[in-house]
Amino acid sequence: MSFQKIIATTAPRAVILIRLIVGAVFLSEGIQKFLFPDELGVGRFIKIGIPQPQVMAPFVGVFEIVCGVLLIAGLLTRLAAIPMIINMLVAISTTKIPLLREKGFWNMAHEARTDFSMLLGSIFLLIVGAGALSLDAWLHSRLASRDSDNRN
């Protein structure tokens, strides 16, 4: 797949709203893994049984920060969405599935609302791209213009 296809988007300008909320939540969560390591970083990863929590918590935190910024800016949106989808699938499987088994559906549904929203928002951005108000759209138009100039 070419770079232009990765950044191409015909999605409306309103997609910026999804990018801003999904990106801001990931950015915030990534920063908090470093600000509050015992509660939200290494300590939490130990509690939920993530292997090598001293490595994985900072690794996930950096990915959430970087991908959150990319989503907010609308830069490499589809590529940034992929690790965040994986991130949310791991979060759901390690924290919400056990909750479902221990406390039932309604407790899990309440606790998982943000996780499912972030997962679906990330999948949406993977499918539609960044939308018209994004660096991806700007880059795509610049590259398309350059390519058309080179053909003439």
- Residues 75 and 21: their CA atoms lie apart, in Å, by 15
Is residue 118, in this structure, part of any structural domain at all? yes
- Residues 91 and 42: their CA atoms lie apart, in Å, by 14
Is residue 132, in this structure, part of any structural domain at all? yes
Is residue 16, in this structure, part of any structural domain at all? yes
Is residue 152, in this structure, part of any structural domain at all? no
pLDDT of residue 26: 98
User: What is the domain extent for residue 76?
Assistant: 3-144
Q: What are the distances in angstroms from CA 143 to CA 3, 54, 150?
A: 10, 41, 10
Token pair recorded at residue 29: 């969560």
Domain total of the chain: 1
Is residue 112, in this structure, part of any structural domain at all? yes
Mean per-residue pLDDT pooled into runs of 10, the chain (152 residues): 88 97 98 98 96 97 98 98 98 95 96 97 98 96 81 64
> What digits encode the pLDDT tens for the residues 51-69?
999 999 999 999 999 999 9
- Residues 116 and 112: their CA atoms lie apart, in Å, by 6
Is residue 26, in this structure, part of any structural domain at all? yes
24: left (phi over 0), alpha (psi -120 to 50) or beta: alpha
- Residues 15 and 44: their CA atoms lie apart, in Å, by 32
- Alpha-carbon dihedral of residues 98, 103, 104, 108, nearest 10 degrees? -60
Token pair recorded at residue 51: 């292997």
pLDDT of residue 146: 81
Q: Where are the alpha helices (DSSP H) in 92-134?
A: 97-103, 105-111, 113-128
What is the 8-class DSSP label of residue 119?
H
Is residue 14, in this structure, part of any structural domain at all? yes
Predicted TM-score of the model (pTM): 0.92
> In a 10 Å sphere around its CB, with 0-12 CB exposed, 13-18 middle and 19+ buried, how is residue 142 labelled?
exposed
Is residue 20, in this structure, part of any structural domain at all? yes
